[in-house]
């Protein structure tokens, strides 16, 4: 059962560059150099993850021309690798179960949610924007960046990151390149049939509102901050529409108070209900935002993935989903393995397919695959008003 406790400022500075870049001691509130940026959110039934495999061997005929990805560290696949950033995951054991055991910059032991969605769409791995060139962009580009937020100043404690507005600038700057490869006349039609995946907002709470060196919480209460985010988010999604997007997948926030870094702050081991309640207005308003955008933007189609519903379903009966460890990270240090995130060359757990969380904030590949599967085929309690499979048929 969730235990209510008072919100105190979090100082979450991710040490993701080298083993000597950190070290904290004492109680958790004293750690000031420790964690990758965001939360996680998961779901149900758990297949055994494939260890090392070639994606091309399991690809089907593409259901859409391309997928374009915007978001934070839950979806970043290497864009932060070349930044002067503390929010990076380009070191072992990150990627231990990825193809060839390579640390690509994904904040997981293997695939992210968007990797698995691309697979189900029949697409190859979508390249990071920093690596996308020439024909590589034919099937889409991933613009996501760890520590990024809806607000430009979110995540500044991590130094380098690419906020959503800048991700949109990168997409706009790539349109000429798309036109050269796909053909000037064909590009608008191809974009209208492609999937635009957007997952933002976690860092605006974890690495902005709850940060002691930000004054955000002194300027806005929970409802006012949610209104601020939704207003900006609406403008950003509308801009993406004006740049040619028509089919949107927007991922909501989950129970941020139930991730290992938050559980570690509660001596009873329960979720921080104050944190969950803080983000609830944003979650409620996000769903309404999707309805309003669908009504106001001609020929647009939006799917909202309700991560909060996925989290709650999983937490109520994790064994039914194949998970045996739900409150502890596979790789990390301290209480719940969530006080210090997964360090370079640290030995992770061996039964990774039974863990929901890979590190203090992010899901394992098993959880990512399950989340993707529910988003792709789930009912309206999870994917509203359409699941991804239904969306691509429109």
Note whether 358 and 108 are within 8 A (CB). yes
From the number of C-beta atoms within 10 Å of its C-beta (0-12, 13-18, 19+), residue 92 rates as middle
Tell me whether residue 1 is in a domain.
Answer: no
**Tokens 């993850």 sit at which residue?**
49
* pLDDT tens-place string over residues 303-312: 999 999 998 8
Q: What is the per-residue pLDDT for 267? A: 86
Report the distance separating Cα 114 and Cα 345, nearest Å: 26
Token reading at 388: 């991804």
State how many domains the chain has: 1
Q: Are strands 301-305 and 383-384 parallel, antiparallel or unpaired?
A: antiparallel
Q: What is the per-residue pLDDT for 311? A: 86
Q: What is the per-residue pLDDT for 18? A: 30
Tell me whether residue 56 is in a domain.
Answer: no
Span between the terminal Cα atoms of the chain, in Å:
42
Q: What is the per-residue pLDDT for 313? A: 83
Chain Cα centroid distance, residue 197: 11
Q: What is the per-residue pLDDT for 15? A: 34
Which are the catalytic amino acids?
73, 359, 362
- Taking residues 224-237, report their average pLDDT: 98
Q: How far is CA 341 from CA 87, 141, 212, 242, in A?
A: 11, 28, 20, 39
Report the distance separating Cα 372 and Cα 307, nearest Å: 11
Report the distance separating Cα 251 and Cα 264, nearest Å: 26
Q: What is the per-residue pLDDT for 274? A: 96
Q: Which residues constitute the domain of residue 203?
A: 19-46+61-393
Residue 234 CB contacts under 8 Å (≥ 6 apart), including other chains: 289, 292, 293
How much is the mean pLDDT over the chain? 87
* pLDDT tens-place string over residues 203-219: 999 999 999 999 999 99
Q: Is the pLDDT of residue 126 over 60?
A: yes
Token reading at 251: 């991922």
- Res. 249 pLDDT band, cuts 50 70 90: very high
Q: Is the pLDDT of residue 108 over 90?
A: yes
Q: What is the per-residue pLDDT for 211? A: 96
Using left for φ > 0, alpha for ψ between -120 and 50, and beta otherwise, residue 105 falls in left
Tell me whether residue 88 is in a domain.
Answer: yes
Maximal C-alpha separation, the chain: 62
The domain that holds 149 is classified in CATH as 3.40.50.1110
* pLDDT tens-place string over residues 7-50: 444 334 333 333 222 222 222 233 233 333 444 333 334 333 33
- Taking residues 193-198, report their average pLDDT: 98
Report the distance separating Cα 121 and Cα 100, nearest Å: 23
Note whether 272 and 262 are within 8 A (CB). yes
Tell me whether residue 346 is in a domain.
Answer: yes
Residue 170 CB contacts under 8 Å (≥ 6 apart), including other chains: 129, 143, 162
Token reading at 355: 């863990």
- Angle, CA of 97, 99 and 101, to the nearest 5°: 50
Q: What is the per-residue pLDDT for 38? A: 42
- Taking residues 381-388, report their average pLDDT: 96
Q: What is the per-residue pLDDT for 268? A: 86
Q: In what order do the strands lie in the sheet with 67-71?
A: 67-71, 195-199, 247-251, 301-305, 383-384
Rg (CA), the chain: 19
Note whether 269 and 328 are within 8 A (CB). no
Q: Is the pLDDT of residue 184 over 60?
A: yes
Q: What is the per-residue pLDDT for 59? A: 56
Tell me whether residue 11 is in a domain.
Answer: no
- Taking residues 252-276, report their average pLDDT: 94
Percent of all residues in the chain with a pLDDT value above 90, rounded to a whole number: 79
Tell me whether residue 14 is in a domain.
Answer: no
Q: Is the pLDDT of residue 179 over 60?
A: yes
Q: What is the per-residue pLDDT for 42? A: 34
Tell me whether residue 332 is in a domain.
Answer: yes
* pLDDT tens-place string over residues 320-353: 889 999 999 999 999 999 999 999 999 999 999 9
Q: Is the pLDDT of residue 235 over 80?
A: yes
């Amino acid at each position: 059962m969730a235990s209510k406790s008072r919100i105190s400022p979090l100082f979450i500075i991710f040490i993701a560059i080298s083993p000597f870049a950190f070290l904290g001691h004492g109680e958790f509130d004293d750690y000031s150099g420790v964690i990758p940026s965001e939360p996680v959110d998961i779901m149900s039934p758990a297949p055994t993850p494939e260890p090392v495999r070639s994606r091309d061997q399991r690809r089907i005929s593409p259901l859409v021309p391309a997928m374009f990805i915007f978001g934070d560290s839950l979806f970043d696949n290497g864009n932060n690798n070349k930044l002067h950033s503390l929010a990076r995951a380009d070191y072992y054991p990150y990627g231990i179960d990825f193809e060839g055991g390579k640390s690509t910059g994904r904040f997981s032991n293997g695939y992210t949610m968007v990797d698995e969605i691309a697979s189900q769409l029949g697409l190859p791995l979508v390249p990071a924007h920093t690596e996308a060139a020439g024909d590589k962009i034919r099937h889409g580009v991933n613009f996501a960046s760890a520590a990024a937020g809806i607000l430009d100043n979110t995540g500044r404690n991590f130094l380098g990151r690419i906020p959503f507005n800048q991700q949109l600038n990168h997409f706009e700057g790539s349109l000429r390149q798309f036109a050269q490869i796909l053909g000037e006349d064909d590009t608008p039609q191809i974009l209208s049939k492609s999937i635009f995946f957007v997952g933002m907002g976690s860092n605006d709470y974890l690495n902005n509102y709850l940060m002691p060196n930000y004054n955000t919480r002194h300027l806005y209460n929970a409802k006012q901050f949610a209104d601020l985010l939704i207003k900006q988010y609406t403008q950003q999604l509308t801009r993406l529409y004006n740049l040619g997007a028509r089919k949107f997948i927007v991922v909501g926030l989950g129970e941020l108070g139930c991730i290992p870094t938050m559980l570690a702050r509660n001596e009873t081991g329960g979720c921080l209900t104050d944190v969950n309640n803080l983000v609830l207005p944003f979650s409620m308003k996000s769903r309404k935002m999707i309805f309003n955008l669908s009504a106001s933007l001609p020929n647009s189609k939006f799917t909202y993935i309700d991560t909060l519903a996925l989290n709650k379903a999983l937490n109520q009966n994790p064994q039914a989903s194949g998970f045996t460890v739900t409150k502890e990270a596979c790789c990390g240090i301290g209480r719940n393995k969530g006080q210090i995130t997964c360090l370079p060359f640290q030995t992770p757990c061996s039964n990774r397919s039974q863990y929901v969380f890979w590190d203090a904030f992010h899901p394992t590949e098993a959880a990512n695959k399950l989340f993707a599967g529910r988003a792709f085929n789930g009912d309206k309690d999870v994917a509203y008003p359409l699941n991804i499979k239904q969306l691509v048929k429109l």
